[in-house]
Structure 1
Amino acid sequence: MSETEGQETATSPASSEPQDTTAQEVQESAEGATVEEPQNALTEKFTPKEWDALKAFRNEIPDALASAYPDKSDAKTAAINLWGVTIDPSNLLDARVSVVLMKFLRARNLSVSEGKVMFIATLRWRDEFNVEAACKEEFPQDVFGQLGHIYGKDKAGRPVVYNVYGGNQDLKAIFGDVQRFLRWRVAFMEKSIELLDLESTDQMIQVHDYAGVSMTSRDANSKNAASEASSIFSSHYPELLYKKYFINVPSYMTWIFWLFKPLIPSATLAKMSVVGSGASTIGKALLPEIDAKQLPKRYGGEAEAF
């Protein structure tokens, strides 16, 4: 139906389970001394099982880096940057690092071995795809200028990201070069992630607008682009999505969604909503999460936005 970030998620948010550890988790250092576990608003919501998994995961990070970068002799000790966070294998006691690593664990039901595999695969993919270059690439505004918007925040401070696929846009120009579209889409995702401080906010809301999209406008290229994007985001951007709304969805796409609903993991399904057309209908779905002043008028809010 569309790219669906985080489809592999199989656990519920950490906040759904009560926190019964102290505000300052204590960890034994190699010398036997105790050190305070750095905390922020997000790590304070980790459950005891999550802390146990995280501590075990930390021990695997040097080997994971060596596997991700086999050509680098210092891979086990060299720091890397992921989503604006420095991950230093010699000092992993950092709250924001904990938040990033926990995403891979939650995406794999707190399995350290499976989380490690996902982490390695993500680092390898980022190198192969050359995410850094994609983020610096200049994309034609006449093709991509109106395709994506980051506007406003939800009531909990999460950024709201809009993908507008229909309207008067030339879909053949957008999807004519599938790899260019994917580079744009990844760069747009990375730009969205920059708005997550990973201190109090580590997820976003996405709104996918299909107004103007029809069966005839979806050719092989657009289908391939959607499929590849779905694979990228579900495999390499875990637990970054809070909720996703599909709005102005054509009736045929609604039918496809319900057809494949049994195949979608329940945790992912809980994040997804298919909404009809019209500002009033869309507003009823979005306004419980997003204040009217933060929501564009075209979607039932009060904001003068794109």
Structure 2
Amino acid sequence: MSETEATQTAVAPADSEHQETSYGVIQESAPEGLTVEPIEPKTALTDQFTPKEWDALKAFRVEIPDALASAYPDKNNAKTAAVKLWGVTIEPSNLLDAKVSVVLMKFLRARNLSVSEGKTMFIATLRWRDQFNVEAACKEEFPQDVFGQLGHIYGQDKAGRPVVYNVYGGNQDLKAVFGDIQRFLRWRVAFMEKSIELLDFETTDQMIQVHDYAGVSMTSRDTNSKNAASEASSIFSSHYPELLHKKYFVNVPSYMTWIFWLFKPLMPSATLAKMSVVGSGASTIGKALLAEVNAKQLPTRYGGEAEAF
């Protein structure tokens, strides 16, 4: 008998009846006419949920079996079979799991707590992962001479979130990088998935991203690179919701800064709050990043003390 079960048994009246809920949690039967909700597992992240978010989450849980059936129409047992998303197992018969709650909440928050819209996004994400074959992309070996300098995961911020660097000028051979757009997208998705592996969904569920544009100019972009960037942006906005804590754009060319400010009025305030366009040079970049990342965790090229990539 677990400690929780023992405690529940000890406090229950001797003649009370007990029943197992749909979530597999042993719970004392309520008096006739009353309903006792299952015990809700809590973590540091779920403790941050608001009452409205809890209400939306409970409604969302009811929709999960149907969502899974819609995502996998060819699976006869889709409503009951477990699926894994970002390393978290979603078990339809036992949705009362703190990590699962954090994952599901991301879809709700991305859609302003609309259960129907969150469900649509969840279904689309599961379908896309299946069609894209994310698992195979994560196992694929990509040439280091092409992609090795384009992305780095190094250090943590002051709250323990991983810091991810996308170095767009890391390889100036655009034909090598973007000649095969689908290969680039597989690499980019695999890199994102590798970043997510560092999230435990108990204390950390987001990352910091640094987008470095050093060496990137208007003339250094071709049609393939533009199309690849557009497709990647669509993938991440549609299928990786609420995984970003903050995003810093560093060493940004002046023309790109101008474009950012041009589109700023069209961006949601929540998105803008996460984004910062920073100037060039270690000193200038450090002034922004050191507010989030300790110097020993930040590479010297960005104003820190770490001898990293």
State the match for 2:287 in structure 1: 284
Q: Normalised by the size of structure 1, how large is the TM-score?
A: 0.89
Question: 5+ unaligned residues in a row in structure 2: which ranges?
Answer: 1-19, 23-28, 30-34
Number of residue equivalences: 279
Q: Which residue of 2 aligns with 1:182?
A: 185
Determine the C-alpha separation between the residues in 2 that align with 1:150 and 1:125: 25
Flag the 1:180–1:167 CA change in 2: closer, same or farther, 3 A. Answer: closer
Distance of 2:270 and 2:37 partners within structure 1: 37
The residue identity in structure 2 corresponding to 1:260 is: F
CA RMSD of aligned residues (A): 1.2
1:113 aligns with 2:116: yes
Partners of 1:37 and 1:84 in 2: CA distance: 21
Structure-2 residue corresponding to 1:149: 152
Aligned equivalent of 1:60, options 47, 58, 63: 63
Aligned partners of 1:86, 1:167: CA distance in 2, in Å? 35
Residue 226 of structure 2: aligned partner: 223
* Consecutive aligned runs of 4 or more in structure 1 exceeding 2 Å deviation: 28-35
2:265 matched to which residue of 1? 262
Is the CA contact (8 Å cut-off) linking 1:168 and 1:212 kept in structure 2? Answer: no
Give per-residue Cα distances to partners, 1:37-89, cap 9 Å, x unaligned: 01111001111000000000000000000000000000000000000000010
**1:83 match:** 86
The within-5 A match list for 1:106-255 is 106-167=109-170, 169-255=172-258
User: Helix, strand or coil: the match of 2:38?
Assistant: strand
Give the distance between the partners of 1:85 and 1:223, measured in 2 at CA.
Answer: 33
User: Aligned partners of 1:34, 1:275: CA distance in 2, in Å?
Assistant: 48
Give the CA deviation at 1:169: 3.2
Aligned partner (choices 99, 104, 109) of residue 102 of structure 2: 99
For the Cα contact (< 8 Å) 2:171–2:177, is it kept in 1? no
CA contact (8 A) 1:167 1:213 kept: no
| TM-score normalized by the length of structure 2 | 0.88
Distance in 1 between the 2:171 and 2:123 partners? Answer: 41
Q: Could you say what secondary structure the match of 1:208 adopts?
A: strand
Q: Per chain length, whose mean CA-contact separation is higher, i.e. which structure has more relative contact order (CA < 8 Å, sep 6+)?
A: 1
Counterpart in the other structure of 1:72: 75
How far apart are 1:259 and its partner, in Å? 1.2
Identity, % of aligned positions = 88
- Name the counterpart of 2:50: 47
Structure 1: how far apart are the matches of 2:288 and 2:217? 23
Q: Helix, strand or coil for the counterpart of 1:81? A: strand
Q: CA-to-partner distance for each residue in 1:95-118, whole Å, 9 max, x for gaps? A: 000000000000000000000000
Question: How many Å separate the matches in 2 of 1:34 and 1:137?
Answer: 45
Q: Residue 256 of structure 1 aligns to a residue in which SS?
A: helix
| Amino acid in structure 2 at the alignment position of 1:250 | P
Q: Secondary structure at the match of 1:126?
A: helix
Amino acid at match of 1:49: K
